[in-house]
Amino acid sequence: MNQSLVHSLLRAVGLVVFGLLLLSPVLVQWPAQDLVPYLQWKLIAAVWFYMLVLSLFRSFWPGLLLLLPAALLVPQEVFYLLTYQKSTDAHALAIVAETDLNEALGYLTGIGLFLALAVVAIVLLWWYLLCSAWQGRWQWEKGLRPVIWLICIGVVASLSWNEWQYQQINKAKQRSNPEENVFVQRPLPYSYEKFHATYPLNMLIAVNEFVKQKQAVADIAESTALFKFSALQTDAPAQRQIYVLVIGETLRPDRLQLNGYNRATTPRLSGTKNLISYTNMVSPWAWTRMSVPVILSRKSATDQRYFPTETSVVAAFKEAGFSTAWLSTQSPLGVHDSSIALHASEADQVQYLNPVGYKKEGFYDDILLPAFERVLQQNQQKQLIVLHTLGSHFSYADRYPQAFDLFTPSGKGQSISMHDQSSSLLLNNAYDNSVAYTDFILFNLIKQLEQTDSISSLFYVSDHGENIFDGQCNKSGHGHNTERDYRVAALLWTSELYNLQYPQKKSYAEQRREQPLMTSNVFHSLLDLAGIEYPDQKLTKSWLSPQWRPSSRILQQGLDFDLAKRDPVCAELTP
């Protein structure tokens, strides 16, 4: 066969393979939804984008140079899609940017060699095509490039029109709370909706969203950077100290076996020594982004502002000489997480360990266990470790591995709507399974602490409660202003050495197990728990202090939780 013909065939095959490679993140989604939207907003859009890049120059080789980054990221994107059924977004970028690189790349465990070989093969193919384009002087046929540009202008005009319409429709929402705008509104709302799963457009959108949100968070953090509690641990014990705060998700106290629930949802914790369950703890908010800052800081229950005006318990512990760490399976960015991430950033070490957040199954909370162990092994004399878990966040069945599918049927592996009352049995079983898994996580955290032989404690508190079609009630989820929205599980474990060092605090902790407590007491109680003092400290808000006094439990909308009326079906609160 003619050598020139062989080279031509190789080049043609190489171009086809390279084109399929670039399109593979879109092709593996074939078709995840209706065919027409898939073709219009994924396949055709991706082809158009690559053609546009190549058409920027008369010769082909500069366009091939520009396409190299997209080609090199294809193996990671395909893996991410096949593993998590989700395209790379700002959350995934933040995982890499916000935490230790080794932790961030943990989700690639076991396939690193495969990805490395794939990248080498891609580079070799790309180099062959680049050399061929250079030597063969590959160029566009005259007149084709203007056609591509005209199509580009038409697409941009259409998107701009739809963007403008979106802005008009959502104008009132954007102006309702100016400080939230950057998080409530996506950077390119209409474009994001259409192209968030279209590689490589999703990468450009993700970078834009990541940069915009990070800048907004940095601007707000600057306003609290100079704030100081002037916190001190005036009588520090000689032994090692470890204080752990575990922020739970959507856990109701009435679903804990150790609180009298008729299912074995806490078989490990029920037999754990020195564990106290606070059965009358209330959160003033039923949304994570507002409830968690109340746990972490002195923010009042009725403060409607999204972002904090002062730092949190993390900063207070740092001032008192503690090494601080924040480990999370939730997200570092987004409308639900950015206000929390501001407080997380106060820690010396921050690790976000879940590559997909709460939107997909992703990693389970047990990924926190080895990360927690690594922090303990740093053997710091004084440590505060905060763990922010996914707990029982919907979809409940996504929150635990198959080994914890204890109560069935649970719908695990299925797509179950939380608003379908006919799925009540599945939802309740899955929820109880997630509680049993939280029992496993907390039990193992305590076991790790016991092995350190330190003055230590672990305090767990959920951010808010949940409705799960209870009785005849037709409500599910949270934010319905029911009693179940606000009642939260709360647990305190203290080590033997802690109890010897602070017997009075241990005694008061026991005495207040059924007292009317609120998550706004947590900040004050944690500092008191560790013997940390600061000038304007209010020990009347610490249930470990002899000065503690019960106070009215005022909720987000100004209702008094204890005095509000409850309707007989859903326990909805009214004045």
Tell me if 443 sits within 8 A of 491, measured CB to CB: no
Instruction: Give 172's pLDDT tier (boundaries 50, 70, 90).
Output: very low
Higher per-residue pLDDT: 353 or 439 = 439
Can you tell me the mean pLDDT for 438-464? 98
3-state secondary structure 120-139: HHHHHHHHHHHHHHHHCCCE
Q: Summarize pLDDT for 472-481 with one digit per residue, the tens.
A: 999 999 989 9
CA pair distance 324, 348, nearest whole angstrom: 5
Q: How confident is the model at residue 335 (pLDDT cuts 50, 70, 90)?
A: low
Q: Is it the case that residue 166 has pLDDT exceeding 80?
A: no
Contact 291, 249 (CB under 8 A): no
More confident residue, 188 or 384: 384
Which pLDDT tens digit goes with each residue over 410-425? 999 898 888 899 999 9
Least confident range of 102-106, 124-128, 303-307, 463-467: 102-106
Tens of pLDDT, residues 35-60? 888 888 889 889 989 999 999 999 99
> What tens digit of pLDDT does each residue of 81-128 get?
887 778 888 777 776 666 554 554 555 555 667 778 899 999 999 999
What local confidence, expressed as pLDDT, does residue 302 receive? 86
Mean of all residue pLDDT scores within the chain: 88
pLDDT top residue among 553 and 106: 553
Instruction: Give the pLDDT of residue 341.
Output: 86
CA torsion sign for 569, 575, 252, 250 is: positive
pLDDT of residue 509: 98
Report, as an integer, the average pLDDT of 480-508. Answer: 97
Q: Which is more confidently placed, 80 or 528?
A: 528
pLDDT number for residue 179: 52
Residue 543 φ then ψ, to 5°: -75, 0
H-helix or E-strand containing 477?
A: strand 476-477
What value does the mean pLDDT take over residues 360-387? 93
| Contact yes or no for 490/295 (Cβ under 8 A) | no
**Nearest CA among 275, 276, 310, 281 for reference residue 296:** 310
Q: How many CB atoms lie within 10 A of CB 460?
A: 28
Per-residue pLDDT band for 160 (boundaries 50, 70, 90) equals confident
pLDDT higher for 228 or 32?
228
- Helix and strand counts by DSSP (H, E) for the chain: 22, 14
The neighbouring-strand residues paired with 247 are 388, 461
> How much is the pTM?
0.82
* Residue 7: per-residue pLDDT: 74
Short-list 296, 228, 254, CA closest to 459? 296
Name the phi and psi angles at 459, rounded to 5. -115, 125
Q: How far is CA 37 from CA 41, 86, 194, 195, 220, in A?
A: 6, 17, 9, 11, 39
**What was the pLDDT predicted at 250?**
96
pLDDT of residue 417: 87
Task: Give pLDDT, residue 208.
Answer: 82
Report pLDDT digits (tens) over 175-228.
445 555 555 444 455 677 778 889 999 998 888 878 877 777 777 777 788 899
